[in-house]
Every structure is written in C-alpha cells, then in structure tokens.
Structure 1
Amino acid sequence: MNVALWILQAFLALHTAIGAGWKLFNSEQAVPTLAAIPNAVWVALIPFELLCAVGLAIPAVAPSLGWLVPIAAIAIAVEMLVFSGIHLRAEAEDNGPMYYWLGVAAVCAVIALGQLFVAPH
C-alpha cells in the first residue's frame, strides 16, 4: 500500500506543478466558469500549488517531513472542491471540468487518508 501511495503522490505532485505552470500562462478566463476568481487570487494559486507539490514530494528526500503529505493533499482537495463549487454556482452546462476536479479531490483524499491512517510516517 505504501508504494501505491507514493506513486499517487508523485503523480499528484506532477499534476499540481503542471497546473501551477498552466496558471502562469493562462488566465482564469481559460475556463469560463472560473472567471469569477479574481486575477490576484488566480496568480496567488501558482505559488500555493508549487508549495503543495513540494509538500507531496519532499518526504522522498527528507522522510522526517512526511507529515506535510496529508496537509498538501488536503489543501489541493480543498482547492479542487472550491473550483467545483464555483463551477456549480455558474450553472454551466458542461460538467466535464467539475468531474475532473472532483476526481483529483478524490485522489487527494486517498493520499491524505492513506498517509494518516494506513501508512503513517
């Protein structure tokens, strides 16, 4: 189980770092339902996501920092749930992005719960 959690963590860290890079080159207008997010908040999400990606990966080189993993995973899950809520509030007809964000939030929950209860550091 621990190996599976590490693989999920690595993919989530990569996903989150890529998401931060995507935000750097695309505005919140790129996803119409996220236009409600102020640009300053959108830009602030870039370092937030990079910190979360580091929090997911740093225990690979510093095992004593394993406590960062559930915190980073929960933070990413909250971000994805906020995006989903904004999407629902916009009453968009295409729910594809929301299902994607909910899927990422579910992966975050598996990682956080796994690192807290199944394979704690």
Structure 2
Amino acid sequence: MPAHEQARMIGLAWERLPQPRPRIMLEVYGAGGKTHFFFLGPHSPDLTPAEIDLLHKLWLKLSQELNNEELHHHDIIHFALQEIDRQLAAGNTNEVLQRLRQHLSEQQKKPRGRESNPRA
C-alpha cells in the first residue's frame, strides 16, 4: 500500500480519537527504504514557491485595490478558504469537487518533490 494511503487510513483513525487529540508526525517507510512524513491533524501547509508567488501576486493586486486598508497574506488565504466553505454551504459541492479534481489532475502532471516533506 502506498505511503499516502497508509497515512490517510491512520489519519482517519486519528480523527476518531477523543479530544484532545495529540499532534503526531507519522513516519512511513516505503519500498526501498524511502521515508515519508505526514502530520496528523491540523497543521499549516508547506507551500511551494509557485504557491507563494501566486499568494504574493494576489496580495499585491488586492492591497493596491484596497488602497490604505491593512491586508496581509494570511487574509488572502483565509478569504479563499471562506469562499470554498460558502460554496459548499450553498450546495455547490459538485462544482467545487469538479474544479478540485481538475486542479489535482493538473498538479499531478507537474514534477513533485514533496514525498519526504513532513507538511505535504
């Protein structure tokens, strides 16, 4: 079973633990001795340089449009997450899933370097 599937199964079991759940870093050894790390539970993502560039580009454009209003990079992320949450709450789950699947398909075509990254 691939490391990411093992981590998913263990992560789902972790979600069933009673509160407060401990924060755990799971280490999975793959074929050939390759090590994979996964954080279980809430954790900050490890953004790629391209994701950071996109975040900064959005922050720059929106902060210019907002003139003197205080805007931080985390505000952009929070806003985007709330927008997804609103779409799901409005019953647009299928549309969100379709767009997410398209995004995942596009990402899988790109070279990946996160296999041993604990925050991937």
TM-score (norm 1): 0.31
Higher strand share: 2
